[in-house]
Amino acid sequence: MKEFLKEVNHEVTKKNQFSEVNGVKFMWEFVGFPEIININNLITSIETKLKLTFNKVEYDDIFYKINEIRDIFKSQTCLLKTNNLDEYKNIYTQFLASFYQNIRDFINIAFFNYIFFNYIHGDIFFENNYYDNDKFYKWKFLDFKRSILVAKKDLLLSINKKTKEYDYIISEVKDQIKQIDVLINNAKNKAFI
């Protein structure tokens, strides 16, 4: 699986990433699956850009948030079986490409907005609305989780065309998506200021 991930990292991901919040441009590196981001490099980059030094609580918060993303990757990719990698390589690659795009979008939109507005002690201004910083992040994290569940469902549906062994799991994932939709609506409503 390591070699496959290395190949996917090379083919479908881009190392240098950029995000802009209120005219401030952040650069970060996608280091590949499964690590995703080097937290120390990310923190150094943000500290340099914002000319600040994170305290222990802020550092731990960033560390926790990045590890949440890694945990989702680990939990959602455990279905990728190496014994049938050749048969499903294209499907697995599409799934990981979607995972990468969702991670990139989440970090660029939610994570950097959270960091920037937390730094200036302000509410997030996003799509012409103001949001509570922490609640905005929770809402967008739920959106991120939902997008990964949808990608997982698509992966399973593609594999299931041949084997039918994933019917039960597909049903569970569909139920999880319905549940998270309710959580997303509640989280978005709570985030509004």
Which residue positions in the chain have pLDDT lower than 70? 81-83
**DSSP for 140-176?**
HHHHHHHHHHHHHHHHHHHHHHHH-TTHHHHHHHHHH
| Omega before residue 34 within 30° of 0, cis | yes
pLDDT of residue 19: 94
Extract the tokens encoding 151: 């990608």
pLDDT of residue 131: 96
Task: Check the CA dihedral 29-17-148-78 and report its sign.
Answer: negative
pLDDT of residue 164: 79
Output the pTM of the full model.
0.92
Closest among 6, 71, 64 to 32, alpha carbons compared: 6
pLDDT of residue 77: 85
Closest among 131, 142, 149 to 106, alpha carbons compared: 142
pLDDT of residue 165: 81
- The DSSP letter of residue 36 is B
Residue 42, number of CB atoms within 10 A of its CB: 21
pLDDT of residue 4: 87
Alpha carbons 117 and 122: distance in angstroms, whole number? 5
**182: Cα separation from own chain's centroid:** 19
